[in-house]
Chain A
Amino acid sequence: MDRTQPIVEMRNISKTFGSTKALRGVDFTVMHGEVHALLGRNGAGKSTLVSTMSGLVASDTGTIRISRTEVAANGQPYAARIRDDIAHVQQTPQLFNLLTVAENLFLENPLVRRKFGIVSHRRMMSEAQALLDKWNIDIRAEALAGELSAGTRQLLEIMKALSRGVPVIILDEPTAALSNAEKRMLFEQVKALKALGISFIYISHHLDEVFEVADTVTILRDGQVVKEREDVGNLNVELIADLMMGEKTARSVRVDHTQADAPVLLQARGIGLYPVSAEGVDFEIRPGEIVALAGPVGGGKEALAMMLAGQLTPYKGKVSGAGGTLPTIGLVPTDRHASGYVGILGVRENVAIGGLDVLSGRFGFIDLDKEAAHVGNLARQTNVIASSLEQAVSQLSGGNQQKVVFARALCQNPQVIVALSPTRGVDVGAKEQLYALLRDLASKGLGVIVVSDEEDEISQLANRVVIVFEGRITGELRGDYTMKDLILRMEGVA
Chain B
Amino acid sequence: MSSAMTGQAKAGTPAGRSRLSAFGSAFVAGGYTMYPVLALLVLVGAVVAPNFATGINLINILEQVSVLGLTTIGLTFVVLIGRLDLSLEGIVGFAPMLAAVCLVPATAGGFGIELPSWMGLVVALGTAGLIGYFNGFMVVRVGLNPFISTLGLLVLLRGGVLIVSNGRSIYSPGPALTYLGSAKLLGLPVSVLVFAFVAVAIGLVFKYHRYGRALYAIGGNEDAARAAGINVDRVIWSAFVYAGLLAGLAGVLMTGRLDSAVTTQGQGIIFSAFAAAVIGGVSLGGGRGTMVGLVSGVLLIGVINNLLTLAQVPSFYVQASTGAVIIVAAVLTTVASRRSSGVRTRT
A385 touches B7 (CB 8 A): yes
B214 touches A356 (CB 8 A): yes
* Complex contacts, A48 vs chain B, CB 8 Å: 347
For chain B, residues 208 to 236, give those with C-beta under 8 angstroms from any C-beta of chain A.
208-211, 213-214, 216-217, 220-221, 223-230
A172's closest neighbor in chain B, by CB?
A: B347
Q: Does B56 contact A (CB under 8 A)?
A: no
For chain B, residues 1 to 54, give those with C-beta under 8 angstroms from any C-beta of chain A.
1-5, 7-13, 18, 21
Q: How far is the CA of A379 from the CA of B7 in the complex (A)?
A: 13
A395's closest neighbor in chain B, by CB?
A: B346
* Complex contacts, B229 vs chain A, CB 8 Å: 329-331, 354, 356, 412
* Complex contacts, A389 vs chain B, CB 8 Å: 5
Q: Does B280 contact A (CB under 8 A)?
A: no
Q: Which of A14-22, A180-188, A190-198 contacts B (4 or more CB under 8 A)?
A: A14-22
Q: Does A146 contact B (CB under 8 A)?
A: no
Q: Please tell me which one of the listed residues A20, A51, A92, A365 contacts residue B11 in the complex, with CB atoms under 8 A apart.
A: A20
B223 touches A247 (CB 8 A): no
Q: Does B107 contact A (CB under 8 A)?
A: no
Q: Given the known A-B contacts A16-B12, A342-B217, A353-B225, are A385 and B5 also in contact in the complex, defined by CB atoms under 8 Å?
A: yes
B223 touches A385 (CB 8 A): no
Q: Given the known A-B contacts A92-B347, A345-B287, A430-B1, are A364 and B13 also in contact in the complex, defined by CB atoms under 8 Å?
A: no
Q: Does B315 contact A (CB under 8 A)?
A: no
Q: Please tell me which one of the listed residues A329, A339, A353, A379 contacts residue B4 in the complex, with CB atoms under 8 A apart.
A: A379
A246 touches B5 (CB 8 A): no
* Complex contacts, B344 vs chain A, CB 8 Å: 394
Task: Bin chain A's interface residue count.
Answer: 35 or more
Smallest CB–CB gap between A432 and chain B, Å? 9
Q: Does A368 contact B (CB under 8 A)?
A: yes
* Complex contacts, A350 vs chain B, CB 8 Å: 224
Smallest CB–CB gap between A112 and chain B, Å? 27
Smallest CB–CB gap between B287 and chain A, Å? 5
Q: Please tell me which one of the listed residues B9, B230, B347 contacts residue A387 in the complex, with CB atoms under 8 A apart.
A: B9
* Complex contacts, B346 vs chain A, CB 8 Å: 47, 92, 394-396
Smallest CB–CB gap between A98 and chain B, Å? 14
Q: How far is the CA of A387 from the CA of B2 in the complex (A)?
A: 14
For chain A, residues 23 to 81, give those with C-beta under 8 angstroms from any C-beta of chain B.
43, 47-48, 50-51, 56-57
Q: Please tell me which one of the listed residues A57, A365, A380 contacts residue B5 in the complex, with CB atoms under 8 A apart.
A: A380
Q: Does A435 contact B (CB under 8 A)?
A: no
Q: Does A383 contact B (CB under 8 A)?
A: yes
* Complex contacts, B4 vs chain A, CB 8 Å: 379-380, 383-385
Give per-residue flags for B316-347: 1 if the beta carbon is below 8 A from chain A beta carbons, else 0.
00000000000000000000000001011111
Smallest CB–CB gap between B290 and chain A, Å? 13
A414's closest neighbor in chain B, by CB?
A: B229
* Complex contacts, B224 vs chain A, CB 8 Å: 333, 339-342, 350
Smallest CB–CB gap between B309 and chain A, Å? 39
From B1, B13, B18, residue with most partner A Cβ within 10 Å: B1
From A21, A51, A345, A376, residue with most partner B Cβ within 10 Å: A345
Smallest CB–CB gap between B93 and chain A, Å? 33
Q: Does B257 contact A (CB under 8 A)?
A: no
Q: Please tell me which one of the listed residues B13, B214, B343, B347 contacts residue A19 in the complex, with CB atoms under 8 A apart.
A: B13
Smallest CB–CB gap between A399 and chain B, Å? 12
From B11, B21, B210, B214, residue with most partner A Cβ within 10 Å: B210
Q: How far is the CA of A322 from the CA of B340 in the complex (A)?
A: 51
Q: Please tell me which one of the listed residues A19, A51, A329 contacts residue B9 in the complex, with CB atoms under 8 A apart.
A: A19
Q: Does B158 contact A (CB under 8 A)?
A: no
Give per-residue flags for A322-364: 1 if the beta carbon is below 8 A from chain B beta carbons, else 0.
0000000111010000111111110001101110100110011
B1 touches A433 (CB 8 A): yes
Q: Does B83 contact A (CB under 8 A)?
A: no
Known contacts A331-B228, A344-B287, A349-B216; 19 further A-B pairs (Cβ under 8 A)? A18-B12, A19-B8, A19-B9, A19-B13, A20-B12, A21-B8, A43-B8, A172-B347, A333-B223, A341-B221, A342-B287, A349-B217, A354-B229, A356-B210, A356-B229, A366-B208, A384-B4, A394-B346, A408-B228
- B residues at A contact (CB < 8 Å): 1-5, 7-13, 18, 21, 204, 208-211, 213-214, 216-217, 220-221, 223-230, 287-288, 341, 343-347
Would you list the 3 A-B pairs with minimal beta carbon distance, nearest first?
A342-B220, A339-B223, A356-B210
